[in-house]
Amino acid sequence: MKRIAILIMLISITGLTACANSSTTPKNASSQNTTAIVMELDENYDDTDPFVNEKLFCVSEDLDSLTATGTLDMDGGNGSLEVKNNKTNEVLWSETWETSVEEEAFSISLENLKKDDEYVICFTGTEINHATIEVAFDSDVVQERERPLQ
């Protein structure tokens, strides 16, 4: 009987120690250094066709390369996603979807980003009922910027 009680106590201590360790260690250590940019659009977003939605970002240091992961959920129509230099309009990355997609994952690879430049994630859509785009950069040097009021 004593052996069973000791065994149960050891299992409990082991379980509590494992829980304590997991609560102090993040599930994904890089998630603390992630910047996510989210765009959500519906058919009432804009009455022009195609419509455009843009989000600005910058980097706090020059980078040889930067990667991001993204997801697109789009109902209806066609969509195009681009990452561009906001000043020069140079397209650094692009992808196009010609049908509805449900939670499709994609990856972005960017090269030679400069801390003095501003970049834009641009989604262009035609005949869209709803679209949600999320882009997550695995770096804490990326900051989303607010677009100045027109």
String of b and e for 47-64 (b: at least 16 CB within 10 Å)? eeeebebebbbbbeeebe
Q: What angle do CA 134, 101, 74 make, to 5 degrees?
A: 55
* Contact predicate 125/50, CB 8 Å: yes
Instruction: Identify the pLDDT of residue 45.
Output: 66
Where are any strands of DSSP class E within 23-117? Answer: 35-42, 51-59, 63-75, 78-85, 91-97, 101-113
Instruction: Identify the pLDDT of residue 129.
Output: 85
Q: What angle do CA 26, 31, 34 make, to 5 degrees?
A: 155
**Average pLDDT value for the chain:** 78
Q: What distance, in Å, lies between the first and last C-alpha atoms of the chain?
A: 78
* Contact predicate 58/145, CB 8 Å: yes
User: DSSP class of residue 12?
Assistant: H
Q: Which residues lie across from 34 on neighbouring strands?
A: none
Q: pLDDT below 50 — which residues of the chain?
A: 2-31, 149-150
Instruction: Identify the pLDDT of residue 148.
Output: 56
